[in-house]
Structure 1
Amino acid sequence: MTLPRRGVLLGAPVLALAACTPSGRSNSPAEGGSSHVMKTVMGDVRVTSRPERVVVLDTAELDSAITLGVRPVGATHTDAASGFLDYLPKDRLAGIRDVGAMLNPGLESVAALKPDLILTSKVRHGDKYGDLSKIAPTVMTESTGYPWKQNFQVHAQALGRVSEAARVTAAYGSRVRELTARLGGPAKAAALKVNVVRFVEGADIRIYERQNFIATILADVGLGRPAVVDQAKGGFAYEVSPERIDLAAADVIFYATYGDPGKAGAPRTLAGSLWKGLAAVRAGRAHGVDDQLWIQGIGYTAADQVLRELAELLPR
């Protein structure tokens, strides 16, 4: 088992740039400032052109805000020890108020912060849209995860940071091309088959397919994927029991654990003969990675760090 080190650099960091109640302002910005209308999955929303008090209700929205140089006044917490995902820079998180669990944010806590913008997605909080929109203009994307690049552009428009977003995406593209070149070019990158495996407490083992955050990064770099990643109909993940972990076979395997490792079955599987018999494991090309970063992060700040770890861990 090889744990990633954070010392290898791949280009410059992506981090770009350095009173309301539930019956209050409704889904429109405060009077007196400039604003614009956004077309969202929930309909047209008028937002302040440069919001200053932003509340984010999921990890992708927090990554977007931090990446664009916006420090939210409030955010929901995850199961990370710190409340917020550990890969995010601590100085950028200082002063952000916790407004409850990601799947059950406290509406009173959100309202108490007097936000002028709320960012989230329909898949997470569509059922709360009516209540949230009474607190502040609420911009929702349809989903999270796989469409993270498109969602980032929505977040940038809502935050009034479109030019900053253009610089972020250009920098990411440069880093991707640099990594592909370091691997020997597109043909050699495509010939290298990579799998991502996640041990999940209370569920089967997941072999990540193509319709998710981490898979988009692998695709951007041009890395090959084994045939198993096209097994599930939804394209998100193919679930296997520990007795079928041999299906994770690839030239390189990255694995992460969500929840308690013991309850997720990671130690037992990693100590088993099927895992140890995989060619990637025998060759020292199976690497333990941070679940918060590789799976939960969902944004350009996370993607930047994943690229740096890929640069260190992939064979050249």
Structure 2
Amino acid sequence: MVATAAAFAVSLSGCGGSEQDGPASSSDTAAAGKEGDARVVKTVMGDVEVGAAPERVVVLDTDALDSAVTLGVTPVGATTVVDKAPFSTYLPADKLKGIEPVGLIAEPNLEAIAALKPDLILSNKVRDEKNYASLSKIAPTVLSDTTGPTWRENFQLHADALGKKNEAAAVVADYDAHVKRLTEALGGAAKAKETKVGFVRFVEGADTRLYLNDTFVGSIFKDLQVGRPANQDTTGFSLDVSAEQIDKANADVIFYSTYGDPKKAKETDTVGGPLWKNLDAVKRKTAFKVDDNLWMLGIGYTGAGQILDAMEKNYAGAGPR
């Protein structure tokens, strides 16, 4: 599968502090909603006044894009991972039609955003704390604290800002039902727990990453109640290993993806080497290559649902043998 520049999104560190203005109210922005329609949304940056039903929404990270599309809103603008990169390709193309690029994640183009006359901007503190004062002068700006494993809480915040709480409840119920179906397909919670599941990401320009529990994929594994290899069943983002340490990826089931060129990311040599071939999942034919774009950028309910679909297709029923 063709890899995208998703590593940027998962490796970008938190932004430093910057001068902060108070949250913009609807009276301070050109597009905060009709007079009398304003609602207060509680955010990590304080209370933000938002119009009743924002229609011109700009999203500045992939989780906010997933939330908007999941809730039936096509943003007028969105950032991309790198210049001229497509928006999240796992999302339906018709739901992305007409979205204008407004710079890069963590480096939004403020002039391009202002030109779209948004009535709501969605992002997170990790990416855009430094831009918050400027963004708030353009439109009400709702930031979550971070991204990744907090995707469920972020979705609720986005739904509140978009005036879509009822729709959000239905989305959550559908996801919970999907998790239950897949857990049952894996033989039930007890059997699922016996199956040790790992995620490996080959990254061009960096060591290979074994993803831990404080990640988007780690949270989905937890929802399914699957087991985790002991060295990956811990808090944190990733355990980084060299090609010579790939035996540390051992698990009953392995999902793996690649960012960048497979050769430069060491996937080609590693997967073709003896250590990889000796892993339990590889010997059992339960090591599955998956779409890096989806598993790394699909930080929301639509992405999570598609990951559950992929897991069900690949290995439902796989367990210790």
- Tell me which residue corresponds to 2:243: 242
1:103, distance to aligned residue in structure 2 (A)? 2.5
| Distance across 2 between alignment mates of 1:184 and 1:133 | 50
1:177, distance to aligned residue in structure 2 (A)? 0.4
- 2:172 matched to 1:177? no
| Distance across 2 between alignment mates of 1:311 and 1:256 | 17
Give the letter for the 2:211 counterpart: Y
Give the letter for the 1:235 counterpart: G
SS of the residue corresponding to residue 263 of structure 2 reads: helix
SS of the residue corresponding to residue 264 of structure 2 reads: helix
Per-residue CA distance 1:83-117 (angstroms, 9 max, x = gap)? 11110100000011111111211000000000000
Give the letter for the 2:126 counterpart: V
| Distance across 2 between alignment mates of 1:151 and 1:68 | 13
- 2:312 matched to 1:311? yes
- Tell me which residue corresponds to 2:299: 298
- 2:207 corresponds, among 204, 207, 213, to 204
1:44, distance to aligned residue in structure 2 (A)? 1.1
SS of the residue corresponding to residue 38 of structure 1 reads: strand
| Distance across 1 between alignment mates of 2:182 and 2:39 | 38
1:261, distance to aligned residue in structure 2 (A)? 2.0
Per-residue CA distance 1:257-284 (angstroms, 9 max, x = gap)? 1122222111111111111111211111
- Tell me which residue corresponds to 1:288: 289
- 2:37 matched to 1:34? yes
- Tell me which residue corresponds to 1:58: 61
| Distance across 2 between alignment mates of 1:185 and 1:312 | 17
Give the letter for the 1:298 counterpart: I
1:199–1:257 CA contact under 8 A, matched in 2: yes
2:34–2:51 CA contact under 8 A, matched in 1: no
Compared CA separation, residues 267 and 100, structure 1 to 2 (3 A):
same
Normalising by structure 2, report the TM-score. 0.87
- Tell me which residue corresponds to 2:95: 92
Give the letter for the 1:164 counterpart: E
2:33–2:52 CA contact under 8 A, matched in 1: no
- 2:157 matched to 1:147? no
| Distance across 2 between alignment mates of 1:204 and 1:27 | 47
| Distance across 2 between alignment mates of 1:93 and 1:258 | 23
SS of the residue corresponding to residue 44 of structure 1 reads: strand
SS of the residue corresponding to residue 179 of structure 1 reads: helix
Root-mean-square deviation (Å): 1.8
- Tell me which residue corresponds to 1:11: none
Q: Could you tell which deviates more after superposition, 200-209 or 141-150?
A: 200-209
- 2:252 matched to 1:251? yes
| Distance across 2 between alignment mates of 1:35 and 1:238 | 45
| Distance across 2 between alignment mates of 1:218 and 1:27 | 43
Any gaps of 5 or more consecutive residues in structure 1? Answer: 2-23
- 1:227 corresponds, among 212, 227, 230, to 230
- Tell me which residue corresponds to 2:126: 123
Any gaps of 5 or more consecutive residues in structure 2? Answer: 2-26
2:33–2:54 CA contact under 8 A, matched in 1: no
| Distance across 2 between alignment mates of 1:114 and 1:84 | 21
| Distance across 2 between alignment mates of 1:168 and 1:223 | 23
2:79–2:102 CA contact under 8 A, matched in 1: yes
Give the letter for the 1:261 counterpart: P
Per-residue CA distance 1:133-155 (angstroms, 9 max, x = gap)? 00000000000001000000000
1:27–1:46 CA contact under 8 A, matched in 2: no
Give the letter for the 1:275 counterpart: W
| Distance across 2 between alignment mates of 1:289 and 1:222 | 20
- 1:83 corresponds, among 86, 90, 93, to 86
SS of the residue corresponding to residue 217 of structure 1 reads: helix
1:31, distance to aligned residue in structure 2 (A)? 4.6
2:41–2:161 CA contact under 8 A, matched in 1: yes
Give the letter for the 2:310 counterpart: E
Compared CA separation, residues 80 and 271, structure 1 to 2 (3 A):
farther
1:78–1:85 CA contact under 8 A, matched in 2: no
- 2:68 matched to 1:68? no
1:215, distance to aligned residue in structure 2 (A)? 0.9
Give the letter for the 1:293 counterpart: L
Q: Could you tell which deviates more after superposition, 252-261 or 90-99?
A: 252-261
1:80–1:86 CA contact under 8 A, matched in 2: no
